[in-house]
Structure 1
Amino acid sequence: METESGKKQHHFVLVHGVCHGAWCWYKVATLLSSAGHRVTALDMAACGASPGRAEEVPSFEEYSRPLLAAVAGLAPEEKAVLVGHSFGGLSLALAMEQCPDRVAVVVFVSALMPAAGKPMAFVFEQLSQEEQPADRYMDCKFETSVAGDPQHPVETFRFGPQYLKQRLYQLSPPEDLTLAMAMVRPSQRFRDDTTMNGNVLTAERYGAVRRVCVVARDDASVPAGFRGRMASLNPGTEVRGLQGADHMPMFSKPRELSELLMEIADKYI
Structure 2
Amino acid sequence: MTTSDVRIRFVLVHGACHGAWTWETVAPRLEAHGWLVTAPELPFTSMHEDARVVRDAVAAARERGERVILVGHSYGGGPITQGGAEADHLVYAAAAVPDVGEPTDDERTITPEALRAAVMLENNTVLSMDPQHAAASFLQRTDPDLARRAVERLRPQPVLCFEEPLTEAAWRHVPSSYIVATDDRSFATDFQRVLAARVRDVIELDCDHSMYYSATDGLVRRLEEIAAEVASR
- The match for 1:79 among 35, 44, 67 is 67
- The match for 2:179 among 196, 211, 214 is 214
Letter in 1 for 2:103: M
- Kept after mapping to 1: 8 A contact 2:7/2:67: no
User: Aligned residue for 1:169?
Assistant: 139
- Deviations, residues 138-183 of structure 1 (Å, cap 9, x unaligned): 14321116xxxxxxxx711112112222110000001111111211
SS in 2 for 1:89: helix
- Kept after mapping to 2: 8 A contact 1:28/1:254: yes
Distance 2:132 2:28 in 1: 28
Letter in 2 for 1:187: Q
Using the TM superposition, give the Cα deviation of residue 136 of structure 1 relative to its aligned residue in structure 2, in angstroms: 4.6
- Kept after mapping to 2: 8 A contact 1:164/1:177: no
User: If the length of structure 2 is used for normalisation, what is the TM-score?
Assistant: 0.88
Check 1:261–1:189 CA distance in 2 against 1; reply closer, same or farther (3 A cut).
Answer: farther
- The match for 2:190 among 225, 231, 242 is 225
**What are the equivalent positions in structure 2 for 1:1-269 lying under 5 Å apart?**
9-45=7-43, 57=45, 59-76=46-63, 77-96=65-84, 100=85, 102-115=86-99, 117-121=100-104, 124-127=106-109, 132-133=111-112, 136-144=114-122, 155-190=125-160, 196-197=164-165, 200-201=167-168, 206-232=171-197, 234=198, 236-243=199-206, 245-269=207-231
- Kept after mapping to 2: 8 A contact 1:8/1:266: no
- Structure 2: 5+ residue runs without aligned partners? none
CA RMSD of aligned residues (A): 2.5
Using the TM superposition, give the Cα deviation of residue 95 of structure 1 relative to its aligned residue in structure 2, in angstroms: 1.2
Which structure has the bigger radius of gyration? Answer: 1
SS in 1 for 2:25: helix
Aligned residues: percent identity? 28
Distance 2:15 2:187 in 1: 14
Check 1:266–1:25 CA distance in 2 against 1; reply closer, same or farther (3 A cut).
Answer: same
- Deviations, residues 62-95 of structure 1 (Å, cap 9, x unaligned): 2333212111223344320001100000010011
Moved more, 156-165 or 15-24: 156-165
Please list every run of at least 4 consecutive aligned residues from structure 1 whose deviation after the TM superposition is greater than 3 angstroms.
6-9, 125-128
Using the TM superposition, give the Cα deviation of residue 268 of structure 1 relative to its aligned residue in structure 2, in angstroms: 3.3
Letter in 2 for 1:74: A
- Kept after mapping to 2: 8 A contact 1:137/1:163: no
- Kept after mapping to 1: 8 A contact 2:135/2:151: no
User: If the length of structure 1 is used for normalisation, what is the TM-score?
Assistant: 0.77
Letter in 2 for 1:175: D
**Number of residues of Structure 1 aligned to a counterpart in Structure 2:** 230
Moved more, 7-16 or 257-266: 7-16
Q: Indicate the structure with greater helix content.
A: 2
Letter in 2 for 1:264: I
Using the TM superposition, give the Cα deviation of residue 7 of structure 1 relative to its aligned residue in structure 2, in angstroms: 9.1
Check 1:138–1:190 CA distance in 2 against 1; reply closer, same or farther (3 A cut).
Answer: same
